[in-house]
Structure 1
Amino acid sequence: MQLSESVSIAHCDSGLEYINVDSPLCQARIFLQGAQLTQYTPAGGKPLIWVSQEEDFQVGKSIRGGIPICWPWFGVHQNPEWPIHGVARVLLWRAQEVKETSDEIRISLSLPMTLVDDTYWPHKTSLQVEYVLTAKQLEVRLTNTNLDDHEVQLTQALHTYFPTPDITQTEVDGLQGAQYIEFGEGPFEQTEVVKFGRETDMVYSGASDLQRIRTPDGTIEVGRENSRSCVLWNPWVDKSKRLSNFADDEYHTMLCLEAANVLDDKATIAPGESHTLATIIRWG
């Protein structure tokens, strides 16, 4: 199905539907399951998004890579039997609108709330994600609107996987001065550029609005809006062996830097109000 001149609906081998973008601006792919972007390559540039070579794109199973949408909680819930990272990343979203101009392509999807078990989320809200694709950058905007008569709170993240040819030659600048918790310990202050030589699972608060991932292939700039928290993750050797749809050695070629609303930065939304978490990524 053709949605615009450069945007169409296609299927992968497992039957999952995705929105395919083949444009002079960029190449991109967004799965309806989870509204999850798994590809963005700007015109004449290198891919900005990583997906595991082991990923088989199965119905009802989260995709290893891309930008999973963690909602309405991030990480492990207080009830450990509930799904990790919430429910949005395995539900079937609805394509809402495609707007294409010579400068950008805007694709919006919404999550039908009838699919969300009210055991997990008993509130009346709406959830929409918009992808703004250009020849220079990708912007992702996740909007919660409170349709209820009481305040709602949630944690969430845009769990972005980035590529690198060598994690040991990669560093993240721009987190200095922020506080972080790692493996349940802390908070500690980040005083230096982050380098990788072990499993990394840092949850930051009070982070600045822009970080730079320096890789042997170039620098990736990662900006955030309405987010004073972010997550930095690499599974390293031992955890890689326990992850599904992840080769034992793939930790060499990826890292996650996630725009988030977690810890004291959780989203608090008054009745009738909206909150938009955004991330903007590009080659620097």
Structure 2
Amino acid sequence: MGSVTTKKHPNGLDYVEVNTDLCQASIFLQGAQIDFFKPANKAPLLWVSEADDYQPGNGIRGGIPVCWPWFGANPIEGYPQHGFARTSIWSLASVKMRNQLVDLIFTLKITEENKQYWPHDTEVSVLFTLGESLSVSIVNKNNCDYPINLTQALHTYFPIEDIHHLKATGFSGSKYIEFGKGPYQQDGDEVSFTRETDRVYTDLANKQLLHTPNGTIEVSRENSLSAVLWNPWIDKSQRLSRFNDNDYLTMVCHEAANVLEDEVQLAPGGSHTLTTHIRWA
């Protein structure tokens, strides 16, 4: 069988620890953010910077931050980067165990403070399914009598051993925006890394592979035609908070998203679910 227990980090953050015959994981109530997932007898599938000190109010630099209800910078000055969900305290609403799989649902109540950013009557939850693989979903429902648009992403950090030997495949036929320029047509199926990479892909196939020295990670998406591929490289690594200067060597972000022309359009009473699936191939 297995266990699901609530624990407290030494710095005060509450988290849920999962232990089964198939996997180990930990998910923080702040941000509904998973920072650790390890399938049984395999290496961990998520990366966290050793520079992160897990302080309340800061999103963890690694794992899967939940970017909601917007991705990146909001055009309104003073609004938080990547939305407010990743630093808000979520509630663990449901725990189910089935055939050694664990389903966890976290829900977010919009506080009066956050209503200044998001005055809409919506419901948002994050569903985790943990087994030999990891699935994470953002589930939106619009309770308003008017339509709502939003952008979102599951900002996944992967451990890749050595960025110089990483090959990412599955990008054929897509296009991307980078550093505010484009769209550019993807050249071939493969992406390698020799500089800062910050690409927002659209028209992207629903599965990519990260070929690392330690094995191949399969990343797939549902209800998403867009994704973000990011490595800060040398100069930006030195400017990032809670990030060591050489961390760029051992991580890459490949994020399931609904951004640009792929933004979510919720009709009155409508719902939408963005899902990412992650496993060792």
Please classify the TM superposition score into its range, dividing by the shorter chain length. Answer: over 0.9
TM alignment of 1:34-45, pairs within 5 A: 34-45=31-42
**219, 223, 233: which one pairs with 1:222?**
219
% same residue? 50
Shift of 1:117: 1.6
**130, 143, 158: which one pairs with 2:127?**
130
Q: Are 2:249 and 1:275 equivalent residues in the alignment?
A: no
Partner residue in 2 for 1:90 = 87
TM alignment of 1:101-140, pairs within 5 A: 101-114=98-111, 117-135=114-132, 137-140=133-136
**Corresponding residue pairs, total:** 280
TM alignment of 1:122-271, pairs within 5 A: 122-135=119-132, 137-192=133-188, 193-271=190-268
Partner SS for 1:118: helix
TM alignment of 1:31-110, pairs within 5 A: 31-110=28-107
Q: Return the letter of the residue paired with 1:6.
A: S
> What is the CA–CA distance in structure 1 between the aligned matches of 2:121 and 2:181, rounded to whole Å?
35
Partner SS for 1:89: helix
Shift of 1:134: 0.8
> What is the CA–CA distance in structure 1 between the aligned matches of 2:115 and 2:216, rounded to whole Å?
42
Change (3 A) 1:116 1:211: farther
Shift of 1:26: 0.3
Q: Return the letter of the residue paired with 2:115.
A: D
Answer yes or no: is the 8 Å Cα contact 1:226–1:276 preserved in 2: yes
Residue deviations 1:69-121, cap 9 Å, x none? 00010001112421110000000000001101233100110001235622211
TM-score (norm 2): 0.98
Partner SS for 2:47: coil
TM-score (norm 1): 0.97
Answer yes or no: is the 8 Å Cα contact 1:94–1:110 preserved in 2: yes
Structure 1 runs of 4+ with >6 Å offset = none
> What is the CA–CA distance in structure 1 between the aligned matches of 2:269 and 2:113, rounded to whole Å?
20
Answer yes or no: is the 8 Å Cα contact 1:91–1:115 preserved in 2: no
**16, 24, 31: which one pairs with 2:21?**
24
Change (3 A) 1:277 1:188: same
- Uncovered stretches (5+) of structure 2, i.e. residues with no partner: none
Answer yes or no: is the 8 Å Cα contact 1:179–1:188 preserved in 2: yes
Q: Return the letter of the residue paired with 2:174.
A: A
Change (3 A) 1:250 1:115: farther
- Alpha-carbon RMSD across the aligned residues, in angstroms, is 1.1
Q: Return the letter of the residue paired with 1:280.
A: H
> What is the CA–CA distance in structure 1 between the aligned matches of 2:23 and 2:233, rounded to whole Å?
31
- Uncovered stretches (5+) of structure 1, i.e. residues with no partner: none
